[in-house]
Amino acid sequence: MTDRIRAMFGERTILCDGAMGTTLYARGVFINRCYDELNLSQPDLIRSVHDEYLQAGAEVIETNTFGANSFRLLRYGLQDQVFDINKAGAQIARQAVEQLADKQAGKAWVAGAIGPLGVHLEPLGKTGLDEARAAFAEQVRGLKAGGVDLLVIETIVALNEAEQAIKAAKEVAPELPILAMITVDEESNCLDGASPEVAAARLTAWGADIVGTNCSTGPATILTTLEKLAAATSLPLAAMPNAGMPRAVDGRNIYLCSPEYMANFARKFLKAGAQFIGGCCGTTPNHIRAMKSALRAVDAQKVSAHGTAKVSLVSETPPPPIEQRSKIGKLIHEGTFVTMVEIVPPRGIDCKKELEGAALLAARGIHAINVPDSPRASARMSGQSLCIQIQQSIGVETILHYTCRDRNVLSIQSDLLGASSLGLKNILCLTGDPPKLGNYPDATAVFDVDAIGLTNIVQRLNHGLDIGGNSIGASTGFTIAVAANPGVPDIDNEVRRFAYKVEAGAEYAITQPVFDLRILEAFLKRIESFRIPVVAGIWPLTSLRNAEFMKNDLRVSVPDSILLRMQQASTPDLARAEGVKIAQEMLAAAIPMVQGVQVSAPFGRYALAAEVIADVLPKQQNAATANPTVAGASVTVATTEVSGAAVGNV
């Protein structure tokens, strides 16, 4: 037990309060209101809730500030009132505690409630760790100004977020003790996959004064988690469960755990070593009153001893060298000019045409087949399925395009583990096109992470770890590709994102279709300081309409000179021939700048794609050998297709 916790609370059991939101909802506050803002507009209402919990026997009450951070308040246009809302929340709770002290003997404490930001942090999300720490610091400043006695960092779903919250608290208010609580799934693991033992070890190392678990699926899960926490830390423990899982009753979510049931588990928490016991969602003053009686009945004056065993954190398993992971990885490592052609999965279950196309391309010497993942948010056979069939039937290596659109982080990890187990070793990490662009615009998108976060996940799997830091037994051994779009209007943002992808673990890149070499050259210059091998995307146009679609609908940079050439082709055959010629010119000119080419096969014309490469491949191979700037660097353009077009959200 830390000295300041012993000085503040002694060694006896401390009863905390229950849910604020549940009580407010029961009093008629609509769920679409910003509950934190009520500290400013209805302070008497918040004060009355605190009073009820204190009268029920709670000795620690949490401020009404769980969501009072700039990210969550932004949804209500209140992001500029973070300090005021937190300060007011602390002052309201302080007034309630002081009035209790005036009326009766005994003492109560005010805990400043800090919940998660509600956004994904790097490496899985777009919010930087420094941004998260700054947001938490802003909240802590308000709570400190309002006079809290300690800080409660609760409902932690990702340990990297907890670390930033603890760092912010120590920077702004080092004098305030910190209670940090994780929330877990039915298997007692954090929602980022970390085990309770790992969470306890890390929270202890980061400087928490009390560790515990709250929210989750109810008292039984919390008890199991508490027992695991107890084995990994010597710090005081806390347990504050939901009143079970909510059930829909007459259109409302009702928590069905009775006060008696919660009281029974309060005794079990005590025996498991908890010093701080309270409730979370669904708990009311009635639950707290029953828990108070139960704890008094067992004379809870001293906390049970719990383990101090040192938990060893899982070590990484580095992946094999890139040249040992896949054929493409070996070619990239050797500096060979790589050739790829994109084959889009069929809309049904028959992939005979695609397999025949792969066989044709393999016979022409193409190194690998790129397989998009439901391009343009269309409903097609899974890319993973087609990749497996191509590799098993044709024997040519594939590169699986993998997007974040349709999968949460659990499904992403499951898919990638399965892909590696089945022999797919090349992954192109993409964000993916939003459903509104596809056949089913009302379909729900997931986007738990974007391409940067996905690259981080693949990199962690390559090092034998899931996103929670747990061992998966061995490296997945993927060769990691990412996308690049040199022709976007906001090139500064594209370069910045590309740098993040490289930092996350990208080993080569694939570009969007190139029609303007000046744009490609300018992009390559911008990324010189963090350059990885680049493969240029080439698209053989089939008609003037196709060229106009690329330029106007897909926002690909197609110069007017290209449009004029396609316009002058008087027949469909001449148009296709001109498109091939343009593609060959682009490829020949790009050879000195890149280490490979990805050619799309418009509308399933695989022979057309092979034709683009056929006449220039020997020159490409010679150039790759002779050009020292190419050797050892290979860029592959990552894209999604539209009717066979390699274009999408990277």
Binding residue positions for Zn(2+): 215, 280-281
**What is the C-alpha separation between 574 and 543, in angstroms, rounded?**
9
**What is the C-alpha separation between 190 and 650, in angstroms, rounded?**
29
Q: Which two tokens stand for residue 405?
A: 């659109």
Half-sphere exposure of 490 (CA within 13 A, CB side): 5
**What is the C-alpha separation between 489 and 496, in angstroms, rounded?**
13
How many Cβ atoms sit within 10 Å of the Cβ of residue 611?
A: 18
Amino acid, res. 45: L
| Angle at which helices 560-568 and 572-590 cross, to 10° | 150
Cite the annotated binding site by residue number.
Answer: 215, 280-281
SS (H, E, C) 566-632: HHHCCCHHHHHHHHHHHHHHHHHHHHHHCCEEEEECHHHCHHHHHHHHHCCHHHHHHHHHHCCCCCC
Q: Which residue's structure tokens are 């896949």?
A: 326
Q: Which two tokens stand for residue 136?
A: 């938490």
- 10 DSSP assignment: T
Q: Which two tokens stand for residue 334?
A: 């050797």
- 426 DSSP assignment: E
Q: Which residues are CB-neighbours of 10 under 8 A, at least 6 positions away?
A: none
How many Cβ atoms sit within 10 Å of the Cβ of residue 45?
A: 17
Beta pairing, strands 252-255 & 246-249: antiparallel
Closest CA to 289 of 16, 56, 48: 56
Residue 308 backbone phi and psi in degrees, to 5: -130, 25
**Residue 497 CB burial class (10 angstroms; 0-12, 13-18, ≥19):** buried
Q: Which residues are CB-neighbours of 169 under 8 A, at least 6 positions away?
A: 114, 136, 140, 151, 153, 176, 178
Where in 279-342 does DSSP place strands (E)? 338-342
Q: Peptide bond preceding 123: is omega within 30 degrees of 0, i.e. cis?
A: yes
**What is the C-alpha separation between 498 and 496, in angstroms, rounded?**
5
Q: Which residues are CB-neighbours of 98 under 8 A, at least 6 positions away?
A: none
